[in-house]
């Protein structure tokens, strides 16, 4: 796959209107983000664990939930810090996270509502902590960018696999998808 993750990130920033002010707000609250990250991870995995299929994926290997919990805390904090001011390193990291979701079978039908749980719980925590509404708006934007990376990973992995296995051209693939979609 030859996805330009930085170009994708910049496109998403424009689409959700993530501004330099949003980034400054997030960075100014990075310590608070790290402080609440474990509780957000608890909400996230409690939600996912209630689904039997998702619970089986999460507990497939000994210690997986613990490792995922730690990874979630890192991911959550990185949304506040931007790692490299939301540059190439951030984009590559988010793309890698998306590909990992594909590899272990955490499909968008799980990720999207789970991200909704995180956004909801962050909103409640923001209010309880007396944080400004602007922080919730900025965090909501970066959450949607991160979610788009995960969803795009599914699209790119599927497209790449079909093209590789069939030898089809990109144009034929797009035509077949469009034809299939119009028949639904």
Pick the more confident residue, 3 or 147: 147
Q: DSSP assignment, residue 106?
A: -
Exposed, middle or buried by CB within 10 Å (0-12, 13-18, 19+), for 123?
middle
What predicted TM-score, i.e. pTM, was given to this entire model? 0.89
Count of residues for the chain? 184
The alpha carbon of 101 is separated from its chain's Cα centroid by a whole number of angstroms, namely 9
In this predicted model, what pLDDT tens digit does every residue of 107-150 receive, in sequence order?
889 999 999 999 999 999 999 999 999 999 999 999 999 999 99
Q: Would you state the pLDDT for residue 149? A: 96
Q: Would you state the pLDDT for residue 147? A: 95
Q: Mean per-residue pLDDT for 66-89?
A: 96
Sign of the Cα torsion 5, 6, 7, 10 reads: positive
Q: DSSP assignment, residue 60?
A: S
In this predicted model, what pLDDT tens digit does every residue of 44-71 receive, in sequence order?
999 999 999 999 988 888 988 899 999 9
The alpha carbon of 21 is separated from its chain's Cα centroid by a whole number of angstroms, namely 21
Q: Distance (Å, rounded) from C-alpha 122 to C-alpha 103?
A: 28
**Residues 146 and 44: beta-carbon distance below 8 Å:** no
Q: Would you state the pLDDT for residue 2? A: 67
Name the H helices within the chain: 5-16, 20-28, 30-49, 52-58, 64-81, 88-104, 108-129, 133-166, 170-182
């Amino acid at each position: 796959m030859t996805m330009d993750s930085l170009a994708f990130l910049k496109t998403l920033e424009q689409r959700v209107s993530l501004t330099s002010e949003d980034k400054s707000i997030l960075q100014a609250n990075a310590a608070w983000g790290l402080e609440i990250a474990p509780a957000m991870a608890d909400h996230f995995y409690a939600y996912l664990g209630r689904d039997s299929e998702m619970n089986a994926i999460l507990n497939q290997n000994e210690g997986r939930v613990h490792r995922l919990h730690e990874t979630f805390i890192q991911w959550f904090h990185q949304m506040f810090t931007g790692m490299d001011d939301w540059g190439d390193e951030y984009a590559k990291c988010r793309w890698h996270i998306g590909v990992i979701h594909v590899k272990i079978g955490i499909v968008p039908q799980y990720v999207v509502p789970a991200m909704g749980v995180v956004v909801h719980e962050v909103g409640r925590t923001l209010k309880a902590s007396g944080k400004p509404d602007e922080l919730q708006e900025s965090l909501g934007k970066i959450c949607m960018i991160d979610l788009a990376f995960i969803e795009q990973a599914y699209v790119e992995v599927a497209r790449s696999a079909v093209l590789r296995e069939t030898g089809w051209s990109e144009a034929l693939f797009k035509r077949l998808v469009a034809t299939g979609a119009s028949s639904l």
